[in-house]
């Protein structure tokens, strides 16, 4: 057997990789846990006023039974709801969160019954007194026809109504009228987290509907986000 010279023998090299520092790993895990805890605390702080309002309305039930229909379970606003402003620009459903929404669904033609509802929508908000800044007026238009100039002027005078268009089929998949009624017969209340949670009766008594709204807002002092 031939003998290899020392020059022909290649050295065997061993690569030694450093092991993770246990202290550094523990610190990283602690930072991760701390970040998650902070995120949960922020979410809890945001949701607390709405949860308190629901507890007051559903459990404590101040002043007796609700006049309106409570929606249980609540229905989330679809994130893919195709909302557009009157100029045709898309509006994200997420942008409507942060306020209670006193909502109507109507066609652009807006007959006499529609005009009465819009007047009541304005009056209901004003009747809430110091709580009114927690409520936005929302009008969802379910067709493509133009609004009459005089109606548009009325809706944008003073505290304006948020006017958005959406396909009727999508609105019908989100909001439901009472049996035997039409989508445009009701006021719908959407909470600040974007969930439909209440439906007013047809031709509601304004004072009774106001009482329902006051119940929702009673435990909601910390939620208001003016100027959304």
Q: Is the peptide bond before 73 cis (omega within 30 degrees of 0)?
A: yes
Average confidence score pLDDT of the chain: 82
User: Does residue 3 lie in a domain region?
Assistant: no
- Residue 228 within a domain: no
* Segments forming the whole domain that contains residue 175: 29-218
Specify if 13 maps to a domain: no
Are 134 and 217 spatial neighbours (Cβ–Cβ below 8 Å)? yes
The pLDDT tens digits for 97-140 are 989 999 999 999 999 999 999 999 999 999 999 889 999 999 99
Is 173 within a domain? yes
Check whether 62 has a pLDDT greater than 50.
no
The DSSP element (H or E) to which 135 belongs, if any, is strand 135-141
Q: Are 137 and 48 in contact (CB under 8 A)?
A: no
For residue 196, give the H/E element and its range. strand 195-199
| CATH number for the domain harbouring residue 180 | 3.40.30.10
Tokens of 164: 């958005």
The per-residue pLDDT for 152 is 94
User: Both tokens of residue 87?
Assistant: 């100029």
Do residues 85 and 163 lie in contact, with contact meaning Cβ atoms separated by under 8 Å? yes
Task: Pull the structure tokens for residue 37.
Answer: 């805890």
Q: Is residue 45 part of a domain?
A: yes
Q: Tell me how far apart the alpha carbons of residues 166 and 105 are, in angstroms, rounded to a whole number.
A: 10
Asked if the structure places residue 170 within a domain, the reply is yes
What pairs with residue 76 in β-bridges? 195
Question: Does residue 47 fall inside a structural domain?
Answer: yes
> E strands within 8-89?
69-76, 83-84
Q: State pLDDT tens for residues 142-193.
A: 999 999 999 999 999 889 999 999 999 999 999 999 999 999 999 999 999 9
The reply to whether the predicted model has a pTM over 0.75 is no
For the chain, the domain total comes to: 1
Is 57 contained in some domain?
yes
User: Which single residue is written with the structure tokens 């929404």?
Assistant: 101
């Amino acid at each position: 057997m031939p003998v290899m010279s020392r020059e022909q023998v290649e050295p065997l090299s061993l690569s030694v990789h450093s092991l993770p520092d246990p202290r550094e790993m523990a610190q990283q895990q602690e930072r991760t846990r701390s970040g998650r805890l902070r995120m949960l605390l922020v979410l809890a702080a945001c949701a607390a006023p709405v949860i308190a309002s629901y507890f007051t309305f559903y459990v404590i039930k101040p002043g007796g039974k609700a006049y309106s229909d409570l929606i249980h379970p609540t229905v989330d606003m679809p994130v893919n709801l195709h909302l557009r402003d009157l100029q045709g620009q898309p509006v994200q459903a997420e942008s409507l969160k942060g306020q209670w929404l006193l909502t109507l669904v109507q066609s652009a033609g807006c007959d006499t019954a529609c005009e009465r509802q819009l007047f009541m929508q304005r009056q209901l908000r004003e009747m809430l007194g110091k709580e009114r800044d927690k409520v936005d007026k929302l009008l969802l238009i379910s067709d493509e026809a133009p609004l009459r100039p005089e109606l548009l002027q009325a809706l944008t005078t003073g505290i304006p109504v948020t006017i958005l268009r959406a396909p009727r089929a999508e609105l019908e998949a989100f909001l439901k009228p009472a049996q035997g009624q039409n989508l445009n017969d009701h006021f719908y209340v959407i909470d600040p987290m974007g969930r439909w949670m209440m439906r007013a009766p047809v031709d509601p008594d304004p004072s009774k509907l106001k009482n329902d709204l006051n119940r929702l807002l009673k435990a909601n002092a910390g939620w208001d986000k003016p100027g959304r």
